DNA sequence: ATAAAATACTTGTATTTACAAGTAAAATAT
DNA sequence: ATATTTTACTTGTAAATACAAGTATTTTAT
């Protein structure tokens, strides 16, 4: 069930603390146990514990302060790697729904795909899907996903409603997103995007093209995302 | 001159390698010297060297591959922390200019500033400036900067033309950007932004609101950036 | 009561040592 | 010649140890 076995120790502790933070066991502004306490608690040495904390800090879950401790933040990191933050009110317990526009189907790659593809990817074909994601019943993201069909049995027949694509890839295929790159533009809404996102034609829309690197060698996830940023902003740390 | 003295060793090596990468001594795709070679070259032990490389990897300058080595990338991290990548052609030797719209002046903070401010910041007043940044003579960024006036003597009289604000802060005040957060939206261009960015009114513009954390406790940099993304995209790694 | 100094914490830096695991090239056997 | 195995590299993980430096509290002196 849990993917916690046969992981390196520092990674195990990272996952434990990350879970505790995202589940709210540690709250915004709380101090994490000190490094020495974590050593005792989990039977590790300080360099190992420090490696976990260092990764957490890099991922924005904590900030470390010499002489003081590690302070918890748990704002971002929802909805895939993207996160939204309300411009008017706080985020709060968001009511997020996913609606499938085009169910996962196997197609061949477009010739002028937004990112260069490897030979293996081209030969494998492409799993294509379109989803609309709503926050409090307001359409926020129109998301077109592309995945190379490399060792993903039965993926086209899975249920994606109200479930994160990333969660499914993680739980069923042990695929983790390690990072990636993206290009961001502001463009006028096309007829299709404007109708899906409940906007007028030519209203500004945020367009992201992203390539995500996974823990599986040669397997990347691609997506083209159109965002309605009228009421919400894209939030990010760097 | 060089700020390399009395830095920790791992930081020193980080700065050296970063410089070599950005100056093109190591080229895209090159392998960095192995960890053991770097140990010998710079008289450090492997954990120290590994810490430098780990930071470089986190910052996107290299990717590490077990059994192979560390591969150099030197795309991003220009123009402040932002970076652009051409949508039509490659980036190449970009011809970047900065034009001052409003010279640095000391003002008081706006009451409904885009980020919450500390008491110290409010009391210190605000150094305000507006700049326009052009790539190949095309206006790309209209950049409004806000800095709390905390220990920054003579900053309002400095030359900012064609020089990065970050470089000046780094060289003259030893201020380094450690990270930050940002909100991104697509909005219609106002009259002012459209004229500055050579766009028609109501054309889509990318709007960033960012808060940057520095190595100086309590000192943050804020900026509101309007981007013309007609020909260029914002590029980022995550 | 107030201010200064000592203290007990915290994280930061750095060395040394050892073995595991992935990669690529060289040596060997077929 | 080709395939296989070995070898020599690379980075990854992990422990044990030591001291430096920043922070906050407690104690002490005024």
CATH number at residue A92: 3.40.1410.10
- pLDDT score at A91: 35
pLDDT of residue B129: 93
Residues of chain B with pLDDT under 50: 1-4, 76-81, 85-93
Q: What is the pLDDT of residue A31?
A: 92
**Residue that wins the pLDDT comparison between A130 and A156:** A130
Confidence of residue A79 (pLDDT cuts 50, 70, 90): very low
Q: Are residues A218 and A140 in the same domain?
A: yes
Residue A163: the pLDDT is 59
Distance CA B51, CA B135 (A): 35
Distance CA A91, CA B39 (A): 47
Would you say residue A2 lies in a domain? no
Q: Which of A38, A72, A106 is the last residue of a domain?
A: A72
Contacts with A89 (C-beta within 8 Å, 6 or more apart), sequence order: none
Does B79 map to a domain?
no
In a domain? residue A167: yes
Q: What's the mean pLDDT in A38-56?
A: 93
- DSSP 3-state of A111: coil
A217 touches chain B (CB under 8 A): no
- Domain of A50? 9-72
Contact B91, B107 (CB under 8 A): no
Flag whether residue A235 sits within 8 Å of chain B, measured between CB atoms: yes
Q: Counting beta carbons within 10 angstroms of the beta carbon of residue A167, is it exposed (0 to 12), middle (13 to 18) or buried (19 or more)?
A: exposed
Same domain for B35 and B140: no
Asked if the Cβ of residue B207 lies within 7 A of any atom of strand D, the reply is no
Residue A77 inside a domain? The answer is no
Structural domain count, chain A = 2
Beta bridge partners of A144: A130, A224
Q: Are residues B29 and B68 in the same domain?
A: yes
C1’ C1 / CA A67, Å: 29
Least confident of A179-193, A206-220, B62-76, B165-179: B165-179
Contacts 24+ apart (CB under 8 A), A26-35: A26/A72, A26/A74, A27/A72, A27/A74, A28/A72, A28/A73, A28/A74, A28/A75, A29/A71, A29/A72, A30/A71, A30/A72, A31/A68, A31/A69, A31/A70, A31/A71, A31/A72, A32/A62, A32/A69, A32/A70, A32/A71, A32/A72, A34/A69
Same domain membership, residue A189 and residue A142: yes
Say what the pLDDT of residue B82 is. Answer: 53
Cross-chain CB nearest to A179 (options B186, B209, B238)? B238
Last residue of a domain, one of B52, B72, B92: B72
Q: Is the CB of A65 under 7 A from strand C?
A: yes
Tell whether A69 lies on the interface with B, counting CB pairs under 8 A.
no
Residue A78 lies in a domain: no
CB–CB contact B229 A205 (8 Å): no
**Long-range contacts from A142-146, C-beta under 8 angstroms, 24+ separation:** A142/A101, A142/A193, A142/A196, A142/A197, A142/A225, A142/A226, A142/A227, A143/A223, A143/A224, A143/A225, A143/A226, A144/A223, A144/A224, A144/A225, A145/A221, A145/A222, A145/A223, A146/A109, A146/A113, A146/A221, A146/A222, A146/A223, A146/A224
Which of A172 and A202 is assigned the larger pLDDT?
A: A202
A27, A52, A72: which is the final residue of a domain? A72
Position A20 in a domain: yes
- The arithmetic mean of pLDDT across residues A9-36, rounded, is 90
Evaluate if the CB of A50 falls below 7 Å from strand C.
Answer: yes
**How far apart are the two ends of chain B, measured CA to CA in Å?**
33
pLDDT digits (tens, 9 = 90+) for B12-64: 999 999 899 888 899 888 899 999 999 999 999 999 999 999 998 887 888 89
Band of pLDDT at residue A39, cut at 50, 70 and 90:
very high
Q: Are residues B165 and B89 in the same domain?
A: yes
Q: Are residues B149 and B189 in the same domain?
A: yes
What is the reported pLDDT for B163? 60
CB–CB contacts below 8 A, A to B: 93
Domain shared by A93 and A46, yes or no: no
- Residue closest to D23 C1′ by Cα: A67
Assess whether B95 and B202 both reside in one domain: yes
Question: How many angstroms separate the CA of residue A237 from the nearest CA in chain B?
Answer: 4
What's the CA–C1' distance between B55 and D4, in Å?
Answer: 40
Name residues 71-90 of chain B within 8 A of A (Cβ).
Answer: 81, 85, 87
Residue A139: the pLDDT is 93
d(CA A205, CA B140): 18
Check which CATH number belongs to the domain holding B50 and give it. 1.10.10.10
Residue A25 to residue B22: CA distance in whole angstroms: 42
CA dist A231 and A8 (Å) reads 42
Tell me the mean pLDDT in the region A29-46. 92
Task: Give the distance between the most distant pair of CA atoms in chain A.
Answer: 60
In a domain, B1, yes or no: no
Radius of gyration over every alpha carbon of chain A, rounded to an integer in angstroms:
20
Predicted pLDDT at A52: 95
Instruction: Quote the percentage of chain A above a pLDDT of 70.
Output: 84
Which residues on chain A are in Cβ contact (under 8 Å) with B214? none
- A29 shares a domain with A106: no
Distance of C1' in D26 from CA in A123, Å:
70
Report, as an integer, the average pLDDT of A137-160.
82
What is the predicted pLDDT for the residue at A189?
97
**What pLDDT, on a 0 to 100 scale, did the predictor assign at position A85?**
45
Shared domain check, A36 and A100: no
Q: What is the pTM of this model?
A: 0.79
Give a yes or no: residue A30 inside a domain: yes
User: Do B116 and B175 reside in the same domain of the chain?
Assistant: yes
Let me know whether A126 and A182 are in one domain: yes
Q: ipTM beyond 0.90? A: no
């Amino acid at each position: 069930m849990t993917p916690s076995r046969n992981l390196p120790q520092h990674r195990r502790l990272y996952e434990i603390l990350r879970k505790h933070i995202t589940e709210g066991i540690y709250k915004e502004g709380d101090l994490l146990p000190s490094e020495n306490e974590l050593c005792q608690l989990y039977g590790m040495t300080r360099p190992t514990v420090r490696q976990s904390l260092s990764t957490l800090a890099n991922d924005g879950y904590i900030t470390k302060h010499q002489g003081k401790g590690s302070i918890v933040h748990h704002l971002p990191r929802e909805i895939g790697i993207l996160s939204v933050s309300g411009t008017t009110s706080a985020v709060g317990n968001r009511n997020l729904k996913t609606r499938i526009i085009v169910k996962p189907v196997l197609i061949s790659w477009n010739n002028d795909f937004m990112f260069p593809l490897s030979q293996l990817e081209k030969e494998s074909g492409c799993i294509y899907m379109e989803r609309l994601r709503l926050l409090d019943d307001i359409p926020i993201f129109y998301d077109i996903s592309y995945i190379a069909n490399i060792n993903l049995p039965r993926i086209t027949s899975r249920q994606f409603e109200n479930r994160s694509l990333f969660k499914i890839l993680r739980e069923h295929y042990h695929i983790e997103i390690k990072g990636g790159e993206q290009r961001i533009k502001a463009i006028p809404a096309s007829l299709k995007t404007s109708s899906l996102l409940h906007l007028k034609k030519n209203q500004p829309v945020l367009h992201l093209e992203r390539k995500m690197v996974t823990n599986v060698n040669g397997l990347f996830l691609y997506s083209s995302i159109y965002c309605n940023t009228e009421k919400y902003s894209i939030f990010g740390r760097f």
